[in-house]
């Protein structure tokens, strides 16, 4: 059955290129010590998530997105604990979608058996040159997931072209409010026209409730009434994420996926030796719980 008719409160920490840049710096290749540092920091995030599960109303609605590269042990442990695991398959930091493991993507999914397969796609309908190839690859992944019994999530980022940003007077907030909603609608329709049918859409938030209703109607058109829609956090401040949550029709959405807003500041403080590991774990748990409670209020 198409869709995912349940709540999903996701802590994503599948960041790779941005994670490395923050904690290691600009390096072409990580040495073993650097790889261990990134893996250890992701384990701290997971510890915070585990701590929070003792306080949420319904732990089965909590989920994680974590990468195989630095989170293999986390994935295995989460599966043992019956935690919902979303596995990213995209190569990190690419403007044009590519599989992290190329033609072997299916073997990696089958080996780890996540609950949900996730693909991050940077997609602007104006970028016609790269969109055809992106849609072909996403269609292949979607078909494979359906043939093999995996739920499929599309995480979409509709980033402005230089021309669109110029129309927005160079201001991201003007683009987000005035231009991005219509582009997001076009993107959804182009995915559907290409035969791509995600079970879950992970969507950038909107500045007006009306935009949300249009997007939700487009996503759930026809026989898609069970398709899930969740709001992503885009690394924004707590205040901004809460503002987005307040504007969103939460009764029609399935939840959120907010990562850096929750874990980045505590991890940086720990990295810079301003707080202990225990304090870092506690802070991450507290931040996640705060957003779950704010969403459910």
Each residue's pLDDT tens digit, 4-17? 999 999 999 999 98
- Per DSSP, the three-state class of 75 is helix
How far, in Å, CA of 69 to CA of 292, rounded?
28
Q: Is the pLDDT of residue 56 over 90?
A: yes
Instruction: Kindly report, residue by residue over 139-164, the tens digit of the pLDDT.
Output: 999 999 999 999 999 999 999 999 99
pLDDT of residue 26: 86
Instruction: Kindly state the percentage of the chain with pLDDT values over 90.
Output: 95
Structure tokens at 201: 């859409």
Q: Is the pLDDT of residue 27 over 90?
A: no
Q: Is the pLDDT of residue 24 over 90?
A: yes
How far, in Å, CA of 286 to CA of 297, rounded?
16
Q: 């701290």: which residue's tokens? A: 44
Please give the average per-residue pLDDT across 278-287, as a whole number. 98
How far, in Å, CA of 205 to CA of 215, rounded?
11
pLDDT of residue 260: 97
Question: How many C-beta neighbours within 10 Å does residue 192 have?
Answer: 16
pLDDT of residue 93: 87
β-bridge mates for residue 62, sequence order: 9
Question: In Å, how far from its chain's centre is CA 187?
Answer: 17
Instruction: Kindly report, residue by residue over 184-232, the tens digit of the pLDDT.
Output: 999 999 999 999 999 999 999 999 999 999 999 999 999 999 999 999 9
Instruction: Kindly report, residue by residue over 73-98, the tens digit of the pLDDT.
Output: 999 999 999 999 999 999 998 999 99
Comparing CA positions, the residue from 86, 93, 77, 78 lying closest to residue 13 is 86
pLDDT of residue 54: 93
How far, in Å, CA of 92 to CA of 119, rounded?
10
Q: Say which CATH class 8-296 falls into.
A: alpha beta
pLDDT of residue 102: 87
- Taking CA 126 as the corner, what is the angle to CA 97 and CA 131, rounded to the nearest 5 degrees? 30
Structure tokens at 48: 């915070």
Comparing CA positions, the residue from 194, 205, 218, 109 lying closest to residue 156 is 205
User: pTM of whole model > 0.75?
Assistant: yes
Instruction: Kindly report, residue by residue over 219-264, the tens digit of the pLDDT.
Output: 999 999 999 999 999 999 999 999 999 999 999 999 999 999 999 9
């Amino acid at each position: 059955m198409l869709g995912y008719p349940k709540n999903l409160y996701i802590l994503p920490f599948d960041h790779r290129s941005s994670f490395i840049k923050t904690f290691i710096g600009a390096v072409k290749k990580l040495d073993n010590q650097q790889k261990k540092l990134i893996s250890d920091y992701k384990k701290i995030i997971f510890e915070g998530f585990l701590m929070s599960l003792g306080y949420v109303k319904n732990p089965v609605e909590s989920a994680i997105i974590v990468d195989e590269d630095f989170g293999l042990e986390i994935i295995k442990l989460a599966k043992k604990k019956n935690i919902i695991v979303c596995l990213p398959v995209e190569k990190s930091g690419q403007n044009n979608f590519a599989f992290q493991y190329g033609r072997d993507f299916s073997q990696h999914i089958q080996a780890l058996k996540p609950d949900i397969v996730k693909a991050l796609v940077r997609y602007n309908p104006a970028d016609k040159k790269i969109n055809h190839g992106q849609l072909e690859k996403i269609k292949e992944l979607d078909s494979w997931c359906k043939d093999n019994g995996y739920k499929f999530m599309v995480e979409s980022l509709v980033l402005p072209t230089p021309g669109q940003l110029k129309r927005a007077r160079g201001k991201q907030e003007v683009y987000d409010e005035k231009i991005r909603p219509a582009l997001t609608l076009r993107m959804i329709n182009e995915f559907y026209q290409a035969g791509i049918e995600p079970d879950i859409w992970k969507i950038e938030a909107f500045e007006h409730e009306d935009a949300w209703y249009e997007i939700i109607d487009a996503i759930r058109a026809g026989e898609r009434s069970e398709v899930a829609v969740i709001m992503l956090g885009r690394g924004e401040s707590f205040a901004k994420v809460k503002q987005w949550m307040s504007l969103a029709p939460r009764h029609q959405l399935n939840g959120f996926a907010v990562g850096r807003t929750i874990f980045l500041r505590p991890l940086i403080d720990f990295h810079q030796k301003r707080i202990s590991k225990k304090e870092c774990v506690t802070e991450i748990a507290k931040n996640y719980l705060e957003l779950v409670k704010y969403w459910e209020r």
